[in-house]
Amino acid sequence: MNSTPAQRFQDLLPAQAVLVEATPAMWDRGLFAEEDSLIRQSVQKRRREFTAGRNAARAALAQFGFAPAAIPVGEKREPIFPPGISGSITHTLDYCAVAAIRRGEVLSLGIDAELNEPLAGEVRRLIVSPDEESDLQAALGSVACDGAKLAFSLKEAFYKAFFQQARMFLDFREAFVSVDARRGEFTLRVLKTDVPEYFRQGPFTGKFRVDAQRIYAAIALFETR
C-alpha cells in the first residue's frame, strides 16, 4: 500500500470530513493557557500527545472557518469541539491525527490509530470474547494483524463517536465486531441494552486499513440509518 497515513484515514471518512495529521512542530508548543493548565503536572509523553492533538484540531477547525481558540475538556476528559462540529483525536507513539465534520447528516464520527502489534495476553480477554477473536482472526486471513488488537482499534473508534451521542461509556466486551478484510469494513453491534434507542438498532458499519506500522479505523454515525 503506497498511500500516506493521511490518505488512508481520509479514505475511511465521509467526503465532507476534514483530516489533519500533527506536524513535528505541533507536538511541542502552541497551547492556550487554559489548555496548558490542564496538563501542567502531566508526564512529558502525555503533554506532547495533548499538545499535538490540540494543535491538529485547531488546524482542522480552521478549515471550517473557526479562529484559533482553546479546546477544553469535558467532565469525562473528552475534547470539547465547537457547537455544530463533531471531532475525534487519536494519537499513538509518534503519530497524531484529528478528524472533524459539520454535524448534519453525520451525527458524530470517531477515529483511532494503533500500532500494528499484538495485544498482551492478559489484556485480550478484556477486549474480545474467545468467539469474537476466533472469528476476527479467521476473517483476516493473510492480513498481518492481530485480531484482538484490531478489535481494540475498531471499538475505540466507535466509542468516540458513541460517547458524543450517548454521553456514557461502553466496556469493550459490551460490543461485538466482525470484519470484511477484503473490503476493509467492519460491523459493530452494541450488546449493552441500557443505551439510547438509536444504538439498539445496529449494527453500525465503519472502515479500516492496516499497514506494517499501524491500524487505522474510522466510523461515522448517520442521522438516518
Scanning the structure block, which residue is given the C-alpha cell 487519536? Answer: 90
> pLDDT tens, 17-72?
999 999 999 999 999 999 999 999 999 999 999 999 999 999 999 999 999 999 99
Average pLDDT, the chain: 95
Quick one: pLDDT at residue 183?
A: 96
Is 35 within 8 Å of 68 (Cβ atoms)? no
pLDDT at residue 141 tops 70? yes
- pTM for the full predicted model: 0.96
Quick one: pLDDT at residue 6?
A: 86
Q: What are phi and psi for residue 135, nearest 5 degrees?
A: -65, -40
C-alpha cell belonging to residue 143: 492480513
C-alpha cell belonging to residue 163: 460517547
Quick one: pLDDT at residue 1?
A: 46
Domains of the chain: 5-111 (3.90.470.20), 116-222 (no CATH)
Quick one: pLDDT at residue 62?
A: 98
For residues 217 and 225, what is the distance between their CA atoms, to the nearest angstrom?
A: 20
Quick one: pLDDT at residue 121?
A: 87
Say which residues have a Cβ less than 8 Å from residue 156's Cβ, sequence separation at least 6: 90, 110, 112, 114, 217
What is the dihedral angle through the alpha carbons of 81, 83, 85, 87, rounded to the nearest 10 degrees? 20
Quick one: pLDDT at residue 224?
A: 78
> pLDDT tens, 186-216?
999 999 999 999 999 889 999 999 999 999 9
Quick one: pLDDT at residue 63?
A: 97
Q: Of how many residues is the chain composed?
A: 225
For residues 133 and 119, what is the distance between their CA atoms, to the nearest angstrom?
A: 12
